[in-house]
Amino acid sequence: MEKILSDKKAIFLFVFPTLLVLTIFVAVPIIISGYYSLLDWDGLGKGTFIGIKNYTDLVKDERFINSLINSILYAALSLFIQLPFSLLLAILVSNVKRGEKFYSAAYFVPVIVSSVVIGYLWQKIYNGDYGLLNSALRSLGFEGRDWLGQENTALIAAFIPNLWQYVGYHMLIMHAGIKSISQDVIEAARIDGASPSMIATRITIPLLKPILEVCVTLSLIGALKIFDLIYVLTGGGPFYVTEVPTIFMYKHIFDAMHYGYGSAVSIFIILECLAFTFLLRIIFRRREEDR
Amino acid sequence: MKKKLLSIMLGSAMIASLLSGCATAVAPQAGNDAAAETGEAAEAEDNAGEAAAETAESSDEPVTLTIWHQSVVDTDPVKIIIEDSVEEYHELHPNVTIVQEGIEGEQYKTKIKTAFAAGEAPDISYMFSGGSFVKPYIDAGYLLPIDDLVQQETLDQVLPGMLSGCTFDGKLYSLPTITFLANLYCNTEMFDAAGAKIPTNWDELLDAVEKLKAAGYTPILMGEKDRWPGMYWYDIISARTAGNAAIEAAFGDTSKFNAPEFAAAAEKLQELVQAGAFNDNMMSMSYTEMLEGFAAGQGAMIYQANWIHPAIMDEAAASSGKVKCVAFPVIDGMAGSVTEFSGGTSDGYYINANCEHPKEAVEYLEYLSKKIGTVGYQMGAGLPCWKADGVDTSTLTSLDVESAALMETGTSYIGWWDNVLSAEDSETYKDLVAQVMAMKITPEEFAEAMSKLSPSEFY
């Protein structure tokens, strides 16, 4: 092993293919998008170079600002509702006496199902006429409403399926993390008289920190990039209240033929994700140093 | 090894040139093309100078044409016609192989744009109703003018005026197929049950809405999630308040949109909203749900174009045989008349400027366009843009006959506004109509916002 690592040629040989693929499929498209974002271009004809005008327009665009706020709101919901809920489920599932595998598989099912299918499923749940939700509300004597069609409920109604879908994903990662904690520690705590809730808060969660950090990163970056489910559920409407930056970008590129402007949004999303990833790493590292 | 490969290639080139003319498909497509090319090169060397001989030869050379379209719904007659044309055309022209691919609506828009930008577009591609959808492709030089390639004999069979939608900057780019006309579709069963009368003017429409509502029906179905169904309503209401001539003038000079008659159209639309004419969940209902809902008997009226006939006349549909098609009600005392229509444009297929076999592609285009125009008409896909004398019309449904009769009364047509306005302005316009329907803006604000659009490139 050492011999291989000291051989520069071997290192090159192993690293080069990945580097090449990454360059061609990640770095080059980003650079090209960066160039497009400086053009006033419809995506078909000739573009004119306009410098950073797309970006200055972008920060003044109310529709874009709103979509950005939506995605940050969704990121907050993921971090403060979805992840704690996943953690709770993971702890519960790892503590059930029977059917542990069944529960972890059951919660994972929505992750496997295609987002488009989930979107149609929830559309039926939310449907104003015959939807499950309204039927349930009506049978309880409440008034039904058009959840995805009304501005005050559309955003939260579009977010819930997203949150719901990935609960199982984070639960699975956390569950695996919990399982890798040594039984000895837990048993020792139990002998010392710790209750299950004490074991969870004093032992499982602190030992799970590295895993939680992974989940936080994945969840945050995922939240900034959501597209598919919201596109199926509302398409960004009504009146753009459920729009997120990715949908804003898609609509500009393919519906309004603003290829340059859309590219500027894509560059913005990339920079935003990078910035958040670095921010998280700094926060986590500082925590580690404090310890 | 290399020598062997070379001899195989040369051998197959010889066989291919021997068989060319009578063969259907000798070798797999790729090999066939390569062989033909080598054969051709050898020939060119032999008969250097004899250009005439070569062109005669080239009409028999194997040609593969790719076509992309967006007819994917099983009830869509155009889907059946295109799929059948592959085999049929191959029998007529043994050297031509057609490869067709159907892609669903919204995805098609994305895919075709990417393909043209990447230089991987098919030889022939479908373009939504011409207009502002196809304009950027023509401006960018991606599509081929066909004036010099199309036969006069074919052009003579096109109905008068129908070529104008295929002509840009004086050059012909496509041939028309079938044309569409938007009209009001009424479920007679519900109208009878509610004691309502099929409306011919605005007051009758409001009266029908009231009666249908009282009888527990949703008077009008609206799929405003997709925004364009609502746009159709404004398109036609303004044709009644302002008249098509005023609309055309406003397309040329958008400041004319800021006029009482255009505000009045928005006001009329809001009148319907306030009367509770539309389904409560219109903002979350898509076009497809609206159409399926109407076919399933969830609403009494729908304002749409005649491409909905196959779906609502389908034997399995609850609406089958109960629907009547009428012209949109007139508004008394306003400029528009009942003979002014929305629609009249035709979908078309366009040839890639980089197509290697433009002659064959145009021949296929002539064949396909006429086929969709006549057989598609016969199957209820739309109204013909071609002289359809001698076409058996016994297969037409009552709706097809009714809408064809309405078309004959037409004195003026305006295409869907999102095809007349630029892509960017279309988005703004559709948003504005949605805001009107949600009572978020006043008719005056609407008219003023419309006056800020750019003039259309077509008027």
Q: Is B168 on the interface with A (CB under 8 A)?
A: no
The two tokens of residue B416 are 């869907």
Please give the pLDDT value at position B36: 40
Contact A256 B424 (CB under 8 A): yes
Number of independent structural domains in chain B: 2
Q: Where is pLDDT greater, at B131 or B87?
A: B87
Please give the pLDDT value at position B338: 92
Write out pLDDT tens, residues B148-175: 999 998 998 888 878 888 888 889 999 9
Which band of pLDDT confidence, cut at 50, 70 and 90, is reported for residue B33? very low
The answer to whether residue A75 sits within a structural domain is yes
Determine the Cα–Cα distance for residues B375 and B383; give it in Å rounded to an integer: 10
* Interface size, chain A vs chain B, as Cβ–Cβ contacts under 8 Å: 76
Contact A235 B226 (CB under 8 A): yes
Q: Which residues touch A76 (CB under 8 Å, ≥6 apart)?
A: none
How close, in Å, is residue A256 to chain B by CA atoms? 4
Residue found under tokens 């199309």: B150
Cβ pair A255, B427 in contact under 8 A:
yes
Q: Number of H helices and number of E strands within chain A? A: 17, 2
Number of independent structural domains in chain A: 1
How close, in Å, is residue A213 to chain B by CA atoms? 37
Q: Which residues touch A185 (CB under 8 Å, ≥6 apart)?
A: A203, A207
Please give the pLDDT value at position A32: 92
What's the mean per-residue pLDDT of chain B?
84
Name residues 249-288 of chain A within 8 A of B (Cβ).
Answer: 251, 254-258
Q: Which residues touch B302 (CB under 8 Å, ≥6 apart)?
A: B184, B185, B220, B221, B290, B291, B294, B308
Please give the pLDDT value at position B264: 95
Please give the pLDDT value at position B130: 66
Contact B283 A45 (CB under 8 A): no
Please give the pLDDT value at position A104: 87
Contact A149 B116 (CB under 8 A): no
Q: Which of A43, A147, A237 minimises the CB distance to B117?
A: A43
Domain coverage including residue A143: 62-290
| pLDDT beyond 70 at B1 | no
> What one-character DSSP code corresponds to residue B166?
G
Q: What are the strands, taking DSSP E only, across B237-370? A: 301-305, 323-326, 340-346, 348-351
| pLDDT beyond 70 at B14 | no
Contact A45 B280 (CB under 8 A): no
Contact B110 A254 (CB under 8 A): yes
CA proximity to B424, closest of B458, B454, B459, B457: B454
| pLDDT beyond 50 at B203 | yes
Which band of pLDDT confidence, cut at 50, 70 and 90, is reported for residue B432? very high
Write out pLDDT tens, residues B338-370: 999 998 877 889 999 999 999 999 999 999 999
Beta-bridge mates of residue B2: none
**Which strand (E) or helix (H) includes residue B209?**
helix B202-214
Please give the pLDDT value at position B30: 38
Using the Cα atoms of residue B373, residue B374, residue B378 and residue B383 in order, give the sign of their dihedral.
Answer: positive
Closest CA in chain A for residue B114: A43
Contact B140 A44 (CB under 8 A): yes
The answer to whether residue A82 sits within a structural domain is yes
The answer to whether residue B201 sits within a structural domain is yes
Contact B285 A43 (CB under 8 A): no
Write out pLDDT tens, residues B39-70: 444 444 444 444 443 444 445 788 999 999 98
The answer to whether residue A40 sits within a structural domain is no
Contact A45 B136 (CB under 8 A): yes
Contact A46 B140 (CB under 8 A): yes
Closest CA in chain B for residue A257: B423
Beta-bridge mates of residue B143: B352
Determine the Cα–Cα distance for residues B212 and B194; give it in Å rounded to an integer: 5
Determine the Cα–Cα distance for residues B45 and B62; give it in Å rounded to an integer: 20
Neighboring chain A residues of B120 at a CB cutoff of 8 Å: none
Determine the Cα–Cα distance for residues B68 and B287; give it in Å rounded to an integer: 23
Task: Return the residue in A39, A145, A146 with the most chain B beta carbons within 10 A, the one to mutate for interface testing.
Answer: A146
Q: Is B434 on the interface with A (CB under 8 A)?
A: yes
The answer to whether residue B48 sits within a structural domain is no
How close, in Å, is residue B161 to chain A by CA atoms? 29
CATH number at residue A84: 1.10.3720.10
Closest CA in chain A for residue B223: A149
The answer to whether residue A47 sits within a structural domain is no
Contact A239 B434 (CB under 8 A): yes
Which band of pLDDT confidence, cut at 50, 70 and 90, is reported for residue B253? very high
Q: Which residues touch B399 (CB under 8 Å, ≥6 apart)?
A: B185, B306, B309, B312, B313, B323, B324, B325, B380
CA proximity to B448, closest of B262, B270, B243: B262
Name residues 105-164 of chain B within 8 A of A (Cβ).
Answer: 109-110, 113, 116-117, 136-137, 139-140, 142
Beta-bridge mates of residue B69: B102
Task: Return the residue in B116, B281, B287, B288 with the most chain A beta carbons within 10 A, the one to mutate for interface testing.
Answer: B281
The answer to whether residue B297 sits within a structural domain is yes
Q: Is B430 on the interface with A (CB under 8 A)?
A: no
Neighboring chain B residues of A236 at a CB cutoff of 8 Å: none
Instruction: Give the number of other Cβ atoms within 10 Å of residue B269's Cβ.
Output: 22
The answer to whether residue A38 sits within a structural domain is no
Percent of chain B residues past pLDDT 70, beyond the cut:
87
Q: Which residues touch B204 (CB under 8 Å, ≥6 apart)?
A: B197, B329
Determine the Cα–Cα distance for residues A244 and A10; give it in Å rounded to an integer: 45
The two tokens of residue B264 are 């009045």
Q: Which residues touch A102 (CB under 8 Å, ≥6 apart)?
A: none
Domain coverage including residue B437: 180-345+397-450
Please give the pLDDT value at position A46: 83
Please give the pLDDT value at position A197: 87
The SS3 call for residue B171 is strand
The answer to whether residue A284 sits within a structural domain is yes
Contact A237 B427 (CB under 8 A): no
The SS3 call for residue A288 is helix
Q: Is A127 on the interface with B (CB under 8 A)?
A: yes
Neighboring chain B residues of A235 at a CB cutoff of 8 Å: 225-226
Which band of pLDDT confidence, cut at 50, 70 and 90, is reported for residue B82? very high
List, for chain A, all residue ranges whose pLDDT scores fall below the cut of 70: 1-5, 290-291
Across the range B402-421, mean pLDDT stands at 88
Neighboring chain B residues of A251 at a CB cutoff of 8 Å: 427
Determine the Cα–Cα distance for residues B334 and A146; give it in Å rounded to an integer: 36
Neighboring chain A residues of B110 at a CB cutoff of 8 Å: 254
Please give the pLDDT value at position B131: 80
The answer to whether residue B427 sits within a structural domain is yes
Please give the pLDDT value at position B59: 58
